[in-house]
Structure formats: structure tokens, C-alpha cells
Structure 1
Amino acid sequence: MQTSESIHPDKNTEKGSKTQHGRQVGTVRQVLQRSGYLELLCDGVAIVLQFVHPQILRMRVTGSLVVANTSSTAAVALTSVVPVEATLFEDEGYLQWATDFLLVKIYKERFKLEVYDVEGKLIYSLESIVSFANGQTIAQVSKFSLEHFYGLGEKTGFLDKNGEKYNMWNSDVYAPHVPEIKALYVSIPYVLHTHQNGVYALFIDNPSESVFDLQSSSDTYQIQTAVGDFDAYCITGKTMKDVISNYTVLTGKIPLPPAWSLGYHQSRYSYMNQEEVVDLAKTFREKGIPCDAIHLDIHYMNEYRVFTFDNGRFPNPQGMVRTLGEQGFHIVPIVDPGVKRDPRYEIYREGIAEDHFCKYIEGNIFYGHVWPGESAFPDFSDDLTSAWWGEKHKFYTDIGIQGIWNDMNEPAVFNTTKTMDLEVIHRNQGQPKTHFEMHNLYGMLMTRATYEGMKTLLKDQRPFILTRAGYAGVQRYAAVWTGDNRSFWEHMEMSVPMLLNMGMSGLAFAGADVGGFAHDVTAELLVRWTQLGALLPFFRNHSALDTARQEPWQFGDKVESLCKSAIQLRYQWLPYLYTLFFEASQTGIPIIRPLVLEYPEDPNVTNLSDQFLLGKDILVAPIFRPSMYKRLVYLPKGRWVNYWSMEECEGEAYRVVDAPLEIMPIFIRKGAILPEHPVAQSVSFQNVETLSFAIYGVPLDQPYRYTLYEDDGVSYNHLQGGSNLFEVSLEPVSVNQARLSYRYLQYGYQVSYSSRVFKFKTLKTPERFVVRGMKRVEFAELAHSEQGYALNSSKNEVWVKLSADLSAAVLELEWGEG
């Protein structure tokens, strides 16, 4: 016997019977000019156009024809949207809407949108929008000649994403991390498009699943959103840097982190008990290897309950944190979102009583299996829940902890879908949405709750937050690491273009697990990865349970010495690195940069994926293969100095350079003035005795200038003027004469060091170097002199020393011809 189910329409197997038929946005029927925006009423949809910045156009496509929706997700920094007045011109066939920077042309008969710059060049062309009854939207955007695509956040593959296709869906991917994996832990639906006419970026603020297809057509690329409004921001600027900076005006910039978080972090899944952690710290100090942070993975907890310690494994966590703090270490514990279902567990009881957990629409709580077993998940879309979660971190701050590591916050769940049920409802501040609609926001909202809670609890101390998952704007709250990589040479190589694109997507504070998380590292791979990691924004060595240990000393004296040297180089360059972090906090420009960002006209660097720049002055060329002791390095325009040999090289050329195991090729841009600190065991700007500047620009062919940023590295005093901007200039006077000067551009922080030393490198005849009006002394005497200059014959350099009490000085320099 058959029932009516036998004629269910979905059982019809005729070809095409299940095909979703979309409706292309067609004729613009009505144009409504509102205060600060335009509303276009089209067939079946409304399109809201809004200039949120003189160089950023927002276009929101919604099914509602009643009320224009100009709200935004948590990705957009609330203070960044300031509507811009624009002039509207309407003709029979099209509209023109213009600011001082952009002209937007909208075709009325068959909706199409074009953006032109002030020179009349077509920068961006939206060819069509198709909407579907199931909530999907597909947009077709024009491609151009001589084009390249960057950004897209945390994605595998090479630097240039042209010809690729990626999904935006935060995913717990333990394995495999290979180029064909289209979605990882962080989703940034943002693409930076450079072409013959200029550059722009497109940010699609839709935290559900989306697809960026840059491979299926040679004429257009396609963006598909699964559900919800198609909310697109076209971000323009004259250069790639301008566009990135404008994008971070929209989504926010990194806060200046605590200086200690820029140091070396040591982690393992897991350091099992208090004794092991204390011994680990002791070994670092005995061996003289700098280290600032030790991370605690899930085994520190009582049966993986967040906001607990296992009293058997860690009998005195407060004493441990205090003792290690006195030695310069910070403890960073892991905190996951899953709260164990246990009526005796205080956090769970509170969450139930105060209604903090995610639920289905019928009111029953969603439970998922993670490390503690069956667990509930806080609904971070609700401000009360976020505040509750943030306050719970008092458990950590009360014992002296200042850093938190958020993991498993995609959210990861041990089930077939690998995440929370898509029908779960998030309260979303009174505008409920399903998890399907908000999935990619979950990790960021958790991180925001963590950051804001820690910031409140620590009062005048800056917190450090590390997250695995995130969405656009997560940079306002946390550093990001690239998740569970492997101890493979290929994974080390893959991390560079991934991190470079993350930087161009606003995630300036990012890194990959040094040595690789899973699999067994080899001695050579550990050395090469430590050399690379030492010059990345976030520097952590992390390894998995039951894998070879990979602390720097695990492979004998030689490997230990080489890892130690790499770590020491980072600590030496900390003032340079910290200044780059300050610049990123002000401009959004990334700390590590693909060469194309600084040399956009050079066709050799558009897809250069195995080199990068630290700032604009240091070029890094890592070694990505075993038993490889030479490599080809491309040097861009200008002259470059080999850091190890001091050989000067002409740019716009390839060079084969030596790379024995103790050397990762590094080149310094000629003219660079690099600040340096004495190597310390941990970061403390209050204990620096001497500030040095290494100068790579004599003889001179042009003026050089560098501005150092300084503050206490700990507090928020810099926001009230408690910081310095210290400018050093070197200007040519004649063929063999120059003028060195320095001054404070801003002064508000009392430095600890008593002297400044200027180290002149790349001198052909250093013995003929003269500083007029200053006494020349023997090099051994310089350390005991308040000021003077001396030849450091061991390095073929001249060092000039002055008292730090001098807030400004001008020195006349002269050298003989070689």
C-alpha cells in the first residue's frame, strides 16, 4: 500500500526538477534618496547604497521592500561608519552618485553597478546579482587585465589567489592541511583585487557560508552567499596599502599588545603538571634561551572543565604563576567554549540558571560532545552572556594570569557535521538568527568576550588573547595562529603566503606553530622553522601529544645553539618589531608584507610566495627544504645588504646566496636604520640599559630617516600621551660627509636606558671615520665613556655613543675614500 508520501515532489527524479531557479536583479523601479544613503527598489529586492567612508561604498541587497536595513554585524567597528554626503544625478538610463573620491554609476534597465576613481578609471564593476528563494545570492564581478587577487584570510595555496576557489566556513581541520582544503579555522570574506586600472577590495559581511570563485570564468569572478543579506563593501584607495588601511578603518585595527607577547612562546599538548612547567622554565633560564610565555593546554584543567585547575596536577597554580612571573614568564592557559554538562559544576549551574547557553527554537539546550564530554555552549551573540563569560576570567586574573588562549571556537564539535547544529538559535541582541546564519561569527564573539573581560579585570594592564577561529574584525581582540599544522617542510612553506594574505586581510598579529603541531619534527626542520618563526609577528613553538618533543634543546647542543641564536635575533630586533606593531595599530598595514605591497610595479613579485618583508627594511628568505644550503633570492629595486656577510647587492635581480644551517638569508635595505636592544631573557622595556641603532647607509646616496616608537609595553598610558616618537635622520653633505641628527617628535615616556649607540655598518674604510668635535676612544673604553666613538674592528664597524639625556643632537660625520 502506498501513501501520499509516494508522490512527494522531491521524489521526482526528472532532470532539473530540484534545480533552484534564481531571479536576477533587474530594473530599478524607484530611487529613494534618504539621509546618508540611497534605496533602490528593484524587482523583488531592495538595494541600499551608502558611503560609510569617502572611499568605501556599501551595497546591501535585501529581500525587504519595507524598511532599509543599515545595521551591520560585529565585524564592523561601531565608530567607523560615518555617512558621507554624496551628489546624485539621475538620467533616463542610469544614476550617478559621487563623492570627492568616487563616482558610482548604476544602470537602471538591467541592474549593474560600476565604481570609477577621480581620474575616471573603472575600478570595480558588479555585472549582476541573482537571488534565490532558498536565501542564496550570487554576484558576478568583472575581471580585468593584468590582475591579481590577494587577501581571503587564512587560506592555503600561493600568494596570488587568481584561479582558486575558496569556502568561508570556520572548520576544525586537524587533517589534512593541503592546497585543496578550501576552508580552515578563520573566515575573512574579503578579496583584494589589483588590475590595470587600479586596486580595490570587496568585503562581504555575511557570517554564514560563502564561496569566492576566482577560477570558473575568465571574464568574471563569482561570490555566493548561502543565506541572509548580500552586504558588500567596495573599499578603494590609490594603492594596496591605502585599501588595506581603509579596510581596517571599517573592521578595526589591532590594539597595541603587551610587549611580552612579542617574545618567544613555548607550548605543548600538554605540559602535564606543575613540576614539568617549573622545570621547563628553569631549563630556559639555565640555558640562557629567551622566553616570555608558557602555554598550558587542556590537561591543566579538572577533567577539561574551563575555569578550573586539576589540583592533583597543579596543586599551587597561584604560587607557580607568581614564581614564574618573577623569572619573566607569563602563563597562558587554554579556554574552550564547551562547558561540561555537570550539575555539580558551578559554571554549568550558573549558565543554566542565568540562561547563557545556546538553544533550539523550542527552548531545549544544544549539547555537543567535546573534550569534557557532553557540553553546552555559551551564546556569545548575547551581551549579557558575553559579559558573564568575561567576568569568569577573574579565576585566572586573580592568580596573576594576563593571557588567554581560545581554542575549539569555530565552534568545533565531535559529530558528523563537526560543528553546532545549524538550527540552533542565537539570541543576537533581540534579532534571533540560526547558527547557519551566524556560524563564522561564533569564534570572534567568544574572543571579544574574552578580551573585554580580561581588559576590565586587568585594569591598567594590556591582556594578550590568542584565538584559533575568527571572522573579519577579530584583529581588534586577538592574535591568530593557523591551527593544527604538521611537522612537514611543506607546511612551513605553506604558512608564509597564508600569513601574508592574513596580514593583508587585517590580521596583522598572526603566526603558525613553529616546528609543526602534529607529526615528528626533525632537528633540521626545527632549526629552519625557528629561524622563520623568529621573524613572524606571533612566535610560538607548539607540539602534540605523543609526538617528538621540540623544545630548542631536544636535539643536542648544535641545534640548541642555532635555535637560541634565532630567538636572540628576535629579541635584539624587538624595538623594530614593536614599532611595526604600533604602526599596524595606527594604519592597519601588516607587520610582515609580501614584496608586492612595497613594490607593486615589479612584475617579479606579484606571486612571490617564499620571501617576505618584515616592515619595509628587512627581507627574509627562509629555507623550505632539507639539506638545502643555498637558495635563489629575489632582491627588489634599490640596494640591499646581506645581513650576514655585509655584502652590498643591486636590486631588481636574482641572486644565489649561501644558506648553511646556521643562516637563514636576510637582507637589509640600504639606508635602513634599525633599532636594537641588548638580548634579554624576557621582554621588559623598563630594564633596557642601551638603545642601539644599526645604520646600513654609509656611504650615502640619499637621505634616510627612521622613527622609533616607545612606551612602557605594559599599560594603557600610551593612550594618554605616555609614549615617544624618536626620529633619527642621516643626510648627505658631500661625497664623504654626512649629518646624523635625532630628536623627539613626541615625548611622554621616561626611558630606562642611559645611552644611545649608533653602529655604522657597510663602511669600506672604518678606520678613517671621524665624528667632528667628539673624542675617539679605544673600543674597550667606549662602554665606560659617557660619549665618544670607536672602531669595532671585530665587526668592521664604527660605534658612536651619546648619553640618553640628550633629547636631540646633530653630529657631523666624515670618512675617507676607500
Structure 2
Amino acid sequence: MQLQTTPDGFSLLLDDRVLLRHSAAAPAIYVGHGQERMDMYRGNFEIEDYITERSALRHVTVEGSRISFSQAEGMAPRLEMTLAGTHIHFRSLDNSINRFWIRIQAEGDEHVWGGGEQMSYFDMRGRRFPLWTSEPGVGRDKTTEITFKSDMAKAGGDYYNTNYPQPTYVSSRRYALHVESTAYSVFDFRREAFHEIEVWAVPERIEFHSAPSFIELVEQLSLRFGRQPELPDWVYRGAIIGLKDGMNSFSRLETMRAAGVQVSGLWCEDWVGIRQTSFGSRLFWDWQANETRYPGLRDKIVELNEQGIRFLGYVNPYLCVDGSLFPEAEAAGYFAKDQLGRTAIVDFGEFDCGVVDFTNPEAAEWFAEEVIGRRMLDYGLSGWMADFGEYLPIDVELGNGIDAKLMHNAWPTLWAEVNAKAVASRGKTGEALFFMRAGFTGVQKHCPLLWGGDQSVDFSRHDGLVTVMCAALSSGLLGNAYHHSDIGGYTSLFGNVRTPELLMRWAEMAAFTPVMRSHEGNRPRDNIQIDQDPEVLSHFARMTRIYVHLAPYLKTLSKEAATLGLPVQRPLFLHHEHDRRTYAIQDAYLYGRDLLVAPVWQAAQAERPVYLPEGETWVHVWTGEVYDGGQMVTVPSPIGSPPVFYRKSSTFAETFKALAEI
């Protein structure tokens, strides 16, 4: 970091890039005060801010690596900034400050990516992104009827809503910026000359990372935030089949296997029992085997293991008041409290729960050991969905004494750590596989696998199949190497149901992701399932065979992820950074370096245009036709033949060529 002073300000450079430029006429930093209103309803938030002060800090005093900011010469300084390596640290000198803005220099043709797991826009330039973990909302497009209806039920969303925000971005100028703060923040990329970062607190620091290439930059970020272990060997055997049909799940699994489906795991989230609500069948949130719904489950798990199939379940950080674990946790004081010091009770939609307080080390240890360790891992589970990390209410009292509004974003990382500790306590890191949709800074260190959340069961632009690719690419740049999704989507509301076409197209995409996992959705009886249609079942079986065929290649990508931090699904520019035409592509991805996958994400699409990056010769997997890179090509894309290309020079060329025969 280089500091260059001027008569009334300074410039801050990182490897000759000007990142911060301050003068009295164009200050870089503003501070002030705001009064926010935050209302949470079942994980969805209405957030408003009333700014009572926003003041430019025009005057600076530079003393070595320390810079003091005040509003004008002669006035008391309100903020102090200290340079340390490639970090800038901040210290508030005014206790009234609870709003902070900083302007980072930008270039007109610059692209920016990241922000955690973004669903709608991979290239964030030109838009404003609030960063607050929440339900993404159903629909996520304010022009559509389904979002309008969802908004009426306080369940709608917008393009920026995400389970996993992170105040980190990667710039096409080959640097990355990270804000070290858990407060509500906003990345605003709408101005040509600067990016404005807003934080509802004075951040501890802002970190900069730079590298000569995007690959090296991603490697740096994965070291900073954490790297996942290699995928468990059992995953490569096929798909994880999601069924929540009690003991019928086992017979249905056998039907699928008889049809040729390659299976690595059976995932029964209803292993804890169910309850019926107006939203659909919900799970009974008491995290232990329900022997009524699954009699003899422990023995069935042993039988599956003998066949090379693992059993997976479900857990989240809440306990229902009518379950057996609730009184035990309450008696020990493990729940977050309300304003009167009582156990805080949260309505999750026709049933109430307590919030296990993970800022209390004893509560975190109890949940890791007694719930996940003893009742799940020791029982025989090899994995689970670790759900609902984004639901911490903002009005509870926590054991660490920190305002819940500041802990809300940090909560998914604490939840991931509890799961990881439980796995490590049994010596199963890299063997047991849990997956999360919620995240924040540092979740990478603990969570071995992300999933894209609760997409709608459709082809919609902002909530359907296509959003999964954007989610994988954005999160992958920040150290999350493995991403997958519910095959066929999850949310079915207002008459929106799956079609066979959607289910088959989703399976096509999933075959070229690190993990294939199906889901019956929130309303299984209303939506087509894999085993209910012979054509769908046959197609799905073939996709699982393709996934298994690619296992040797995927294993090399998994090793790269563990050693280098490179994501399995990669934006095209990661290996083609000199081809700027790749910078805004979000509906296609590189599967490792050698495969280019462009899933069909629109209904009734018989052919698809695909951009092939320059500098390579590409081979169409299904026809063998050869194309030079640097051009847009249109290829047939009937169901069963999604656009997939491989590098002709790949050492796995023969493996890829054989896909056409499966």
C-alpha cells in the first residue's frame, strides 16, 4: 500500500492502482447517524433507514501511516485511519457515529463480482446491494405476479436478497476488497467514478488483496476465508436422493435404483417427523430420530451402508417448544432471551421455537455434542442439511452481550462452526457432509458444501434454475469451492408447480456440479417427482451415470479446491481473463478448466447460443463438432443434450468424448 500526500488530501495506491483519493473538494469518507427500522417476519426483513446526519470529513491530518479526519480545519477529528500493510484500520473518535461511507475509486469499464452468494446478477456493476442475511424471498422480481402475491404475505424478495451476503468483492482491476464488520452494509456500484460502501457502524478495517491474475487472487481469498476439505469418497457414487416419505422412502429408493439411478446417499429430512401447516408439510424441529415415522431406522442405516449408500438428515439451530429437547435446553439456560430475561420464543409459521444461543460456549458445546454428535453422527448419519442460519431475531438478548443486530450477519458462521466441531469431534472431517444455504464472512472455514437455497420450481429469471449458476459463481470467487442445489427447485406456491421439463433440465445441470441432490419440495404431493414419470426417471438415471463417469475428473477438481482454493464451478474469465467478453457471462460456467457447461434454463428451448472463450479449441460433447474459441455458437439443445464443450487439448479428452455414449 502506497500513501501519496497532496496539499489538502492524499491518494492510496495498491500496486499502482489508485483505490482511495481524498481532497477537500472530493472527500473519500463520510460519517453520520441514522435511525433504522428493522422488522423480521419468518426470516424476511423490512428495513428502512432515516439519516439524521451525513457529514463529509473534508479535512485530514497525515502523520506517518495515521490519518485523522475532521469536517473542517480547526474542528475536532471524528475518525482515525491507520495503514497497516494492505489493510486500513478505523477508529471512531466520536461516539455518536453509527453510519460510515467510503468511496473507492472506480474505472468506467470495471466489472465487480462477489458480495457473497448473489442470485440475480453476477456482475454487480451498476446496482446497489444491501448485505444482510435473510430469506431471499419468493419470486424476487417486483414485476411478476408471484412476487406481488408473496409480498402480500411478507414473503417476497428483490434481486439483492440472499441467504449468504458477504462484504467482499473482486474487481476486474485484479484486486479484492473486504470489509471486516458484521453490521448491515451496502455495496453501491452505480457510479462510474467510484464505488460507495456504506456500513451501519465504523468498520474494524478494510482489507485489500491484489494479484497479477484472477486465479492467484481467488487463491489468496480462499486462504483468507478458509478452504474446504476434499469431497468424501462416497459422494462420487451417484446422486443423493431426497425423499421425505417415511418408510416408503426406502422402497422408492429401490425403485429408482432398479431403473438405473446411481445413488450415493438417501436424504430423509423427515427423519425427525413432520407436522402439517398451511405452507405444506413441515419438519418436527426436535433433532433426533422419530421411531414412529421411521421404525428401526438405525438398522436400515446399517443396511444402506453395506450397499455403499449413506443416510443423511436435517437439523437447524432452533428447538420446537413441544419437543423433548426444548425443556432440557431451557433448564440449562441455553436459549437466547427476550427483553424481560425469559426464553425468546419465535413463531416459525404455526409452531414456536427457542433460539439456541451459540454465543454461549456451553450452549454451542451442548448442541454440537448432544444433538449433532450423539443423536446424529453416533446414530449413523453421514450428513445433513444445516438449515436456517439466517433467522437470528434482531431483538433477542445474547450471552456475549453484543447487540443482535450486529450478531445477525455473524450467525451463519457460528452455526457452521457448531456443525464443524461436531464432525471434528467424531474424527469425520472430510467424511461427513453437511450443507448450508446461509453464510457470511468465515463460513468457508467451517462449511464443506453450500446449496443455493429455496428456488422456485420454475424457469423464472430471478428465482428459478438460472439463479443457481450465479450463486455458485459469486460465492466460488470468495473461497466456497463446492456448490449445489435442489434438483427441481423447492418452493411451490400460488399454483406454481414443477413440470417434467424443469425437473429434467435441472438434473442436466446438476450432473455437472460437485454434488447431485434431489428434493421433493415444500409440497411433494402437488409436484412431479423423479419416480412418478418413466421418462423423467430414465433421464435422471442417465444424468447420474454421467455424474459418476466424470468422477475421476471431479476428484482432481476436489483436490485443487483443497490445495489451491479454486472452485469447482468457475466463471469463464477465471481461465480466460484476457477475453473481456467473458466478464459478464453468468448463465454458463467452467466445470474445472476443461469443461464449459451452458445449461438450458428457459422453457421449450431447442437450441442455445453459447460463447466459447478465445485461445482454445472447443469440442461439442454430444456431436464431436470442433469450434474455434472467441465466437458465439448456437448448438441444438434437446432434453438430454445440454450444451457442454471440452477443451480439445485436455488430458481428460477421452473421458469427455465417452459422454456421448452414455
* Common fold: TM-score over 0.5: yes
Listed as ranges, the matches of 1:447-466 within 5 Å are 447-459=416-428, 462-466=431-435
Listed as ranges, the matches of 1:638-787 within 5 Å are 638-674=616-652, 694=655
Residues 548-607 of structure 1 show CA distances to partners (whole Å, capped at 9, x for unaligned) of 444433222x33222221221111011211211111111121111111111111132111
Distance 1:460 1:210, change over 3 A: closer
Aligned residue for 1:440, secondary structure, equals coil
TM-score norm. by structure 1 comes to 0.66
Aligned 8 A contact 1:272 1:300 in 2 = no
2:83 is aligned, of 30, 42, 49, to 49
Aligned 8 A contact 1:281 1:324 in 2 = no
Q: Distance in 2 between matches of 1:290 and 1:149?
A: 39
Q: Distance in 2 between matches of 1:447 and 1:348?
A: 21
Q: CA deviation at 1:611?
A: 1.5
1:164 is aligned, of 100, 106, 127, to 127
What residue ranges of structure 2 are gaps of 5+ in the alignment? 1-34, 36-49, 70-76, 143-157, 276-283
1:330 is aligned, of 293, 310, 330, to 310
Aligned 8 A contact 1:210 1:226 in 2 = yes
Q: Structure 1 residue 373 and structure 2 residue 351: aligned?
A: yes
Aligned residue for 1:202, secondary structure, equals strand
Aligned 8 A contact 1:673 1:695 in 2 = no
Residues 460-488 of structure 1 show CA distances to partners (whole Å, capped at 9, x for unaligned) of 77221111211122122221112111111
Aligned residue for 2:531, secondary structure, equals coil
Q: Distance in 1 between matches of 2:345 and 2:292?
A: 28
Aligned 8 A contact 2:256 2:531 in 1 = no
Q: Structure 1 residue 297 and structure 2 residue 258: aligned?
A: no
Aligned residue for 2:302, secondary structure, equals helix
What RMSD in Å do the two structures reach over aligned CA positions?
A: 2.6
Q: Which moved more, 1:487-496 or 1:23-32?
A: 23-32
Residues 526-547 of structure 1 show CA distances to partners (whole Å, capped at 9, x for unaligned) of 1111111111223222122245
Q: Which moved more, 1:292-301 or 1:329-338?
A: 292-301
Q: Distance in 1 between matches of 2:491 and 2:421?
A: 32
Aligned 8 A contact 1:672 1:695 in 2 = no
Q: CA deviation at 1:617?
A: 0.4
Q: Which residue of 2 aligns with 1:569?
A: 546
Aligned residue for 1:144, secondary structure, equals coil
Q: Which residue of 1 aligns with 2:477?
A: 504
1:583 is aligned, of 548, 557, 560, to 560
Distance 1:173 1:640, change over 3 A: closer
Q: Structure 1 residue 22 and structure 2 residue 54: aligned?
A: yes
Q: Could you say which structure has the larger radius of gyration?
A: 1
Aligned residue for 2:317, secondary structure, equals coil
Distance 1:300 1:355, change over 3 A: closer
Q: Which amino acid aligns with 1:501?
A: S
Q: Which amino acid aligns with 2:256?
A: F
Residues 210-259 of structure 1 show CA distances to partners (whole Å, capped at 9, x for unaligned) of 111112x2211111111353521111111112221111111111122312
1:222 is aligned, of 163, 179, 196, to 196
2:606 is aligned, of 629, 652, 655, to 629
Listed as ranges, the matches of 1:478-627 within 5 Å are 478=447, 479-490=449-460, 491-519=464-492, 520-542=497-519, 543-556=521-534, 558-627=535-604
Aligned residue for 1:265, secondary structure, equals strand
Q: Which residue of 2 aligns with 1:781?
A: none
Residues 635-676 of structure 1 show CA distances to partners (whole Å, capped at 9, x for unaligned) of 11221112112222211122221222221121110111129x
Q: Which residue of 2 aligns with 1:212?
A: 187
Q: Which amino acid aligns with 1:498?
A: A
Aligned 8 A contact 1:639 1:669 in 2 = yes
2:411 is aligned, of 442, 445, 450, to 442
Q: CA deviation at 1:29?
A: 4.4
Aligned 8 A contact 1:527 1:563 in 2 = yes
Q: Distance in 2 between matches of 1:134 and 1:346?
A: 46
Q: Which amino acid aligns with 2:572?
A: L
Q: Distance in 1 between matches of 2:434 and 2:483?
A: 11
Q: Which residue of 2 aligns with 1:187?
A: 165
Q: CA deviation at 1:299?
A: 6.3
Aligned residue for 1:166, secondary structure, equals strand
Q: CA deviation at 1:288?
A: 2.0
Aligned residue for 1:667, secondary structure, equals strand
Q: Which residue of 1 aligns with 2:397?
A: 425
Aligned residue for 2:587, secondary structure, equals coil
Q: Structure 1 residue 252 and structure 2 residue 221: aligned?
A: no
Identity of aligned residues (%): 22
Q: Which amino acid aligns with 1:487?
A: V
Residues 670-725 of structure 1 show CA distances to partners (whole Å, capped at 9, x for unaligned) of 111129xxxxxxxxxxxxxxxxx6387xxxxxxxxxxxxxxxxxxxxxxxxxxxxx
Q: CA deviation at 1:26?
A: 5.0
Aligned residue for 1:485, secondary structure, equals coil
Listed as ranges, the matches of 1:13-412 within 5 Å are 19-25=51-57, 27-29=59-61, 31=63, 40-42=67-69, 43-51=77-85, 57-63=86-92, 133-178=96-141, 180-194=158-172, 198-215=173-190, 217-262=191-236, 263-268=238-243, 271-273=244-246, 275-298=247-270, 300-301=272-273, 304-341=284-321, 347-360=325-338, 363-370=341-348, 373-392=351-370, 393=372, 394-411=374-391
Aligned residue for 1:391, secondary structure, equals helix
TM-score norm. by structure 2 comes to 0.81
Larger RCO: 1 or 2 (CA < 8 Å, sep 6+): 2
Distance 1:230 1:459, change over 3 A: closer
Q: Which amino acid aligns with 1:630?
A: E
Q: Distance in 2 between matches of 1:576 and 1:20?
A: 57
Q: Which residue of 1 aligns with 2:9?
A: none
Q: Distance in 2 between matches of 1:444 and 1:538?
A: 22
Aligned 8 A contact 1:203 1:233 in 2 = yes
Q: Which moved more, 1:364-373 or 1:488-497?
A: 364-373
Q: Which amino acid aligns with 1:244?
A: V
